[in-house]
Every structure is written in structure tokens, then in C-alpha cells.
Amino acid sequence: MHIQWYPGHMTKAMRMMQEAVKQVDCVIYMLDCRAIASCINPKFDEMIAGKPTLYILGKSDLVEAKDVKLWSSYFASQGKNFVIADNISGRQRGQIIDKLKLINKPMLDKYASKGANKSIRAMVVGVPNTGKSTLINSLCASKRAITGNRPGVTRGKQWVSLAEGIELLDTPGAVPPAFEDQQKALHLAFIGSIKEDILHLDELAIEIINYCRKNNYDRFCERYRLEKIDEDNVQVFDDVAKSRGYLLGKKGYDYDRTAKAMIYDFKNQKLGKIMLDYPENQK
């Protein structure tokens, strides 16, 4: 399965961000805990070089706590500022605001020494569907940014202000213009960061089967009431379709519905809390 997706609005978005980064004091870099390494866009790294950066390891509630700790240790060892955040509660609001003030302390102290107050202007970046708008809404304690559980919801730049003297710039999600590492592209497809419209869903479902055969065997069998995951992927489709009752009368099994069901189950933790990326040598 080969994945390539870089629609025109992403080119426009990257140009806008390249201009906007000159006007902000720092960057909030959103990463999905399910696929942290895959969510790192080298083009973002080039663009924000030299800017104080706060990494948000988001959607932590979608993976096992022990796996999140591996990434926490990794980011700490790299001397990076980060906050682990879940997808829904907003409990980390105070911690994120404190970290934003910390990474901007030299700038804030400089203005304070002149008797001036300075707001912090932060640009929020990330690949699609990592939770940028959800984060902004939780920081604002109200729904200011448009959110959606699909890539490409935010199309233009949106400024929102917090009472704590912080201004946030929400930006459209963008993937690398070329996926040199197809494994990372696949992981982004698994977590919903790539539009399903451009994917062959049957092939994506086969990749899920292959992944679960190696990493999540028992949970897959439990979900679909199977005795085993057959080595023949077509047979697995038949087994899952039969188990779920996805039939087309005398025409056989509804493979399209079966593929969509497996993709949905994978994304929504029905096959377990799955972390796709691990720090090197720590799986």
C-alpha cells in the first residue's frame, strides 16, 4: 500500500505558517500519543527552528500509561519542554499555561524590566487530526475553534485570546509533502490523519490485520469471536464478515462494510489501546 496525500490547501497553509511564525513568540507542537514519531513533520521542524517550543503529547488516554512514560522519558532526555494531555478532560490547562510562561520567561523578563507587559503569542501546529482545535478550546474554557474527528477541519488561521495574556494561533494541519517513510504514512492513516477518501480501505484494513497478527492477536480474535487470525487475509475478511453478519445475500460477504468496521474499531480502541510508535530501542 503506497500513500501520498498533499492537497493544495496544505501548500497554502505552510506558506501562511512560514509568515506567521515570524510574528509569534513560541510554538505549541501537537503530537498524537498513538503515533508520536509519525506526527513529527520535518517541514515544521525547519520552520520553527530557534523558536521556544512546547510539545503536547495529546490523546494520552488512547494508549496505555506505561507506553506514554517511555515517550515522557525520551522527551525529558532530549531536554524538550512537554506536557502529557488527554483528549477530553482539559485537566492539563494550568500546566500548559505555566509551561508556556516558562519557555517565554526570558522574553517576558525583558519586557518587565522596561515596565511593560507583553502577551505571549503562540502558534499551534500539528499534522491533521492531532487535536489542535480541541486543545485550544480547552485552554479557552469554551468552544472557540472549529473541531472535528477528521483531517482538514481547520482551513484558515484563527487567533484566540486567553485571560492569562496568551494569544493562540490555530493553524491547518499539514503532513510532509512527500512520505519518504511509508510506515509513518501508514500510521497516520491508522489514526485518521489522512483522509479516507484517498485511501483504499480494503488495503488499509489488510494492514490492520497484519498489524494485529503481530502485535494484538488476542484482542483481535476476541473482538470478532475468532479462534485464530488466518494467514490468508481474504479468509480473515470472510471470518470477520461472517462473525459480524456483513452479508450480501447469495453474493457472499460485504467486504466494504467489513473493512470500514475494522478501521473504525482500530481507531476507536475496540481492538485495544494501541501505540504505533515507540522511542528507539524501547518497545
- Could you read off the pLDDT of 171-224 as tens digits, one per residue? 989 988 878 889 999 999 999 999 888 899 999 999 999 999 999 999 999 999
Please identify which residue in the block is written with the cell numbers 506505561: 66
46, pLDDT greater than 60: yes
State the average pLDDT over residues 243-251: 89
Q: Residue 75: pLDDT band by 50, 70, 90 thresholds?
A: very high
Q: What is the pLDDT of residues 152-173, one digit of tens each?
A: 444 456 788 887 899 999 998 9
SS3 51: coil
Gyration radius from the chain CA atoms: 21
**In whole angstroms, what is the distance from residue 17 CA to residue 158 CA?**
12
Contact of 128 with 197, CB cutoff 8 Å: no
Q: What residue ranges define each of the domains in the chain, with the CATH number in brackets?
A: 8-170 (3.40.50.300), 200-267 (1.10.1580.10)
Q: What is the DSSP string of 202-266?
A: HHHHHHHHHHHHHH-HHHHHHHHT-S---SSHHHHHHHHHHHHT-B-GGG-B-HHHHHHHHHHHH
**Helix, strand, or coil here: 103?**
helix
pLDDT value at position 2?
83
Give the pTM: 0.89
